[in-house]
A = this chain, B = another copy of it.
Amino acid sequence: MSYELYYWPMIQGRGEFVRLALEEAGADYVDVARGPEGVSAMMRMMESVEHPPFAPPFLKDGDLVIGQTPAILLYLGARHGLAPKDPAGGLWTHQVQLTISDFVAEAHDTHHPVAVSLYYEDQKDEARLRAKEFRQNRIPKFLGWFENVLARNPSGGPHLVGTAVTYADLSLFQVVEGLSYAFPKTTRRALKDAPRIAVLHEAVAERPRIKAYLRSERRIPFNEEGLFRHYPELEE
Within 8 A of B (CB), among A127-167: 129-130, 133, 137, 142, 145, 148-149, 152, 154
Residues of chain B contacted by A198 (CB below 8 angstroms): none
A95 touches B115 (CB 8 A): no
A149 touches B52 (CB 8 A): yes
A52 touches B133 (CB 8 A): no
Question: In the assembly, what is the distance between CA of A95 and CA of B94, in Å?
Answer: 13
Within 8 A of B (CB), among A80-122: 88, 91-92, 94-95, 98-99, 102, 105, 109, 113-118
A residues touching B (Cβ–Cβ < 8 Å)?
50-54, 64, 66-68, 70-71, 74-75, 88, 91-92, 94-95, 98-99, 102, 105, 109, 113-118, 123, 126, 129-130, 133, 137, 142, 145, 148-149, 152, 154
Question: In the assembly, what is the distance between CA of A66 and CA of B114, in Å?
Answer: 32
B114 touches A133 (CB 8 A): yes
A98 touches B71 (CB 8 A): yes
Question: In the assembly, what is the distance between CA of A68 and CA of B137, in Å?
Answer: 20
Residues of chain B contacted by A126 (CB below 8 angstroms): 113-114, 126, 129
Partner of A88, one of B64, B88, B99, B114: B64
Residues of chain B contacted by A116 (CB below 8 angstroms): 133
A137 touches B114 (CB 8 A): no
A130 touches B105 (CB 8 A): no
25 pairs of residues in contact across A and B, judged by CB atoms under 8 Å: A50-B152, A51-B95, A51-B149, A52-B149, A54-B99, A54-B145, A64-B91, A66-B95, A67-B95, A67-B99, A68-B94, A68-B98, A71-B94, A71-B95, A74-B91, A75-B91, A102-B105, A109-B109, A113-B130, A114-B129, A114-B130, A115-B137, A118-B133, A123-B129, A126-B129
